[in-house]
Amino acid sequence: MNIWILNHHALTPEMTGGTRHYDFAKELVKRGHKVTIIASSFHYSKYSEMKEYGCRDYLKEEIDGITFIWIKTPPYFGNGIGRVRNMLAYTNKTLRLLPKLNLKKPNIIIGSSVHLFAVYSAYKLSKQYHTPFIMEVRDIWPQTLIDMGISKLHPFIVLLGWLEKFLYKKADKVITNLPYAYKHIEKFVPSDKVVWISNGVDLENIPYIEKKKSDKFVVSYTGAVGVANNLEILVNAAEKLQNKKDIFFRIVGDGAEKERLKQLVKEKDLKNVSIEEPVAKNQVSQILQSSDILYFNLKDSPIFNFGISSNKLFDYMAAGRVIIFSTSAKNNPIKEADAGYTIEPDDPEKLTQTILEIYNLSQEERDKIGKKIRKYVEEKYSIGVLVDKLEHLLENEVKR
């Protein structure tokens, strides 16, 4: 098959963030398929351009057998009108440029949210090339925006609501990475049109390595440092554990809350907390493998009513370390694995107690928990397992 994937925010391992489509594409290429990913290289959380275009509107690049077409889009900061302009520029340029690039006709086209304009581009191209159109839902827009506090009567939300319904109906299949998203999508189309294919982890990138003996007992968090991650809870736990000189906390990542957290650590004069710059996806494993506890936290929010599918969590699981899962999301891979620790979010006292409980385990006991988590992610959330499901779906649609 010749597969096109339109994902505005697709990333490669040299960038910071999730690499779902790179990982899937790499595995599909191994299996003999051709994959082209059409993305913008303006990073959605760094708010910076990752490529140099000069006077060109696009770049074409071969990475690990995958063809990447990078679309130049205007810069923005935050979630205002600049971001909408960036989205529309991606949509406009994909529709205008791709037919002119003399690319081999695709057998199937996938359009992936976050935003629905990218999915609309995939639909329009599928009509032009007479191919099946797969809609992938990674964030449920506009419902996610409504849950974040934007009025459902806002004109932009009304537009997105119309576009969402239109695309669900036009798609040959709807893929979602959220395990309970079907409860929303089946309001518009039959539930048998919806297929759950979770995010996952490339196990080759994060091999299991037993924890080496260290002078420090390390509690780590990697990823976005935003309001939803509520990392002040972790800083508060670190303050309560200052007397334990060998327990050390690492926060590695970037986001809107980072400077405030740095200031908080400074005000509290915490010597047991390090707030660090983000690293590329292909360097994350070194941080995870040097940790004793990996902390996963999300504030309680209706956004997570459809479940979560966090790349970071599956990376944590692959590392084979003890995980503290602190969120009220509808699904819980740590509980499914029957290993690790689940606690309520936003409770620094409980978090402190749980860290101490794990600290007081023997290394053998911690290793046993970590290995169980690793085995579970190998069986359920490895890229190979997920691509088996994706490949089967795509082949069936191409044959119709």
- Asked whether 347 and 316 are in contact (CB, 8 A), the reply is no
Give the domain range for residue 148: 2-200+382-399
Give every residue of the chain whose pLDDT is below 50, as ranges. Answer: none
For residues 182 and 161, the answer to whether their CB atoms sit within 8 Å is: no
388 in the same domain as 360: no
pLDDT of residue 305: 86
Please check whether residues 50 and 99 belong to one and the same domain: yes
Count of domains forming the chain? 2
Does residue 205 lie within any of the structural domains?
no
Query: Considering the domain boundaries, does residue 32 fall inside one?
Result: yes
Tell me: do 63 and 193 sit in the same domain. Answer: yes
Answer whether residue 206 is part of any domain. no
Residues 38 and 130 in one domain: yes
Same structural domain for residues 120 and 221?
no
Show Cβ contacts of residue 343 under 8 Å, excluding neighbours closer than 6 positions: 324, 325, 326, 350, 351, 354
3-class state of residue 131 by DSSP: coil
Within 13 A of 103's CA, how many CA atoms are on the CB side?
A: 23
Residues 156-172: tens digit of each pLDDT:
888 888 999 999 999 99
Distances 104 to 59, 155, 390, 396 between C-alpha atoms, Å? 17, 38, 22, 21
Clarify whether residues 51 and 106 are in a common domain: yes
- pLDDT value, residue 158: 87
In a domain, 235, yes or no: yes
Same-domain status, 118 and 258: no
Q: Please classify residue 282 by burial: count the beta carbons closer than 10 Å to its beta carbon, then call 0-12 exposed, 13-18 middle and 19+ buried.
A: middle
56 with 194, same domain: the answer is yes
The answer to whether residue 348 is domain-embedded is yes
Q: What are the Cα distances from residue 103, in Å, to 34, 71, 100, 223?
A: 12, 15, 8, 36
Q: How many residues does the chain have?
A: 400
E strand residue ranges, 177-321: 194-196, 217-224, 247-254, 273-276, 293-297
The predicted pLDDT at position 39 comes to: 96
Do 366 and 390 lie in a common domain?
no
pLDDT given at position 256 = 84
Q: Are residues 67 and 137 in the same domain?
A: yes
Distance CA 293, CA 297 (A): 13
Q: How far is CA 58 from CA 73, 96, 100, 356, in A?
A: 9, 11, 12, 52
pLDDT at 262: 95
Q: Which helix (H) or strand (E) holds 108?
A: strand 108-112
